[in-house]
Amino acid sequence: QAKQRGNGFAFYRAEMNRHALKILELENDLRHALERRELLLHYQPKVELARGRIIGCEALLRWQHPQRGLVSPADFIPLAEETGLIVPIGAWALLEACNQAMQWQQQGLPAIGMAVNLSSRQFRSGDLPTAVAAALRHSALPASRLELELTESMVMDDPAGAVQTMQQLKGCGLQLSLDDFGTGYSSLNYLRHFPVDCLKIDASFIRDVDRDPSAAAVVTSIIDIAQNLGLTTIAEGVETHAQLTFLRRCQCDALQGYLYSRPLPAADFAQLLARPPAL
Ligand code: C2E
Ligand code: CA
Ligand code: CA
Ligand code: CA
């Protein structure tokens, strides 16, 4: 019995070491990913419900690893966040996304908005407003077409400090949205003071919206609050027509999700933008 447990532990430890080694390897690779040009962005359209137009897109980070293939952000963003690598990676993503929006415009495509995700580390780094101003200047993208997506948890750690940073960012003339809305511990009292423009209703509520009355109640309440505060709403992770029908009924402003399009490489997104399918 004891021996067996011993072996089990040795096995467990070997597994742990392999796991730790793998993370160490990944971290080392991530350090070089930027300079080796292995990072890229995919773009997912944001579609207005009323007229079915593409009003913007969200830039989503991808890592084309030479051995592992396409690594999902869920597997490397936490690592980038821990190591601080997210700061240079985030700055790169910001500039790349702004440049891409301008490139599409120069190709004669509609001048749509470009949304970029921020990490909490970036948000707290102090020089975010400088990095944002630099990306706007270098790309010549009008600030009004840039949207930054923050999460509730990022801002609720230090609401007063966050409001200051948000005001500074708003001062550049850009748009701010609260991502994954409804999943964090946001307080409605703070929401009132946040200079945000849009609430992104989290996909977990949208998933069950047409079969679970409580999910439906959350979604209609978020839309109601947003309307009363003068904010727009976008539903994330919309996959079915039943969800779309529900969202139309409660006057959600826009949607994002596989129902319309998955996140696409830049060239494919340009084709979509040139000939947008009907919603
Ligand atoms: P997020 O910001 O909430 O992004 C939405 C995620 O939902 C994306 O996953 C997107 O591909 C996925 N999605 C969109 N529509 C659907 C749908 O209809 N069904 C389902 N099942 N999924 C859908 P992705 O691209 O894997 O990104 C995961 C997360 O990684 C993002 O969640 C965001 O938190 C983070 N992330 C991605 N790019 C960046 C970045 O440039 N910077 C930072 N800091 N974080 C990023
Ligand atoms: Ca997002
Ligand atoms: Ca989200
Ligand atoms: Ca999310």
Average pLDDT of the residues in 133-149: 98
Q: What is the distance in A from the centroid of ligand 4 to the CA of 59?
A: 13
φ, ψ for residue 97, nearest 5 deg: -65, -45
Q: Which residues line ligand 1 (CB under 6 A)?
A: 44, 60-61, 72-74, 77, 90, 93, 117-119, 179-180, 237-239, 256-258, 263
Ligand 1, atom 25: nearest CA belongs to which residue? 60
Those residues whose C-beta lies under 8 Å from the C-beta of residue 231, and which sit 6 or more positions away, are 196, 197, 198, 199
- In whole angstroms, give the CA distance from residue 115 to residue 219: 22
Which amino acid belongs to residue 50? A
The continuous run of DSSP H or E covering 7 comes out as helix 2-33
Q: What is the distance in A from the centroid of ligand 4 to the CA of 200?
A: 10
Can you tell me whether residue 216 is helix, strand or coil? helix
Count H helices and E strands in the chain, helices first. 12, 10
Q: Which ligand is nearest to the CA of 239?
A: 1
Query: Are the CB atoms for 196 and 226 separated by under 8 Å?
Result: no
Res. 18: pLDDT tops 90: no
**Strand 198-201 to strand 69-71: parallel, antiparallel, or no bridges (unpaired)?**
unpaired
Q: What is the distance in A from the centroid of ligand 4 to the CA of 255?
A: 15
Which of the four pLDDT bands, split at 50, 70 and 90, describes residue 4? low
Which of the four pLDDT bands, split at 50, 70 and 90, describes residue 5? low
- In whole angstroms, give the CA distance from residue 145 to residue 157: 28
The continuous run of DSSP H or E covering 108 comes out as none
Q: What is the pLDDT of residue 2?
A: 47
Quote the percentage of the chain above a pLDDT of 90: 82
Task: Dihedral sign for Cα 269, 245, 236, 95, please.
Answer: positive
Torsion angle defined by CA atoms of residues 213, 216, 218 and 220, in that order, rounded to the nearest 10 degrees: -130
pLDDT digits (tens, 9 = 90+) for 150-202: 998 888 888 899 999 999 999 999 999 999 999 987 778 889 899 999 999 99
Ligand 1, atom 2: nearest CA belongs to which residue? 117
Secondary structure letter of residue 184 according to DSSP: S
Can you tell me whether residue 258 is helix, strand or coil? coil
Does the predicted interface ipTM exceed a cut of 0.90? Answer: yes
Q: At what angle do helices 159-171 and 128-139 cross, to 10 degrees?
A: 20
Which of 41, 42, 47, 60 best tests ligand 1's pocket when mutated (most atoms within 8 Å of CB)? 60
Q: What is the pLDDT of residue 6?
A: 60
Q: What is the distance in A from the centroid of ligand 4 to the CA of 73?
A: 11
Ligand 1, atom 22: nearest CA belongs to which residue? 237
Average pLDDT of the residues in 222-231: 96
- In whole angstroms, give the CA distance from residue 10 to residue 257: 45
pTM: 0.94
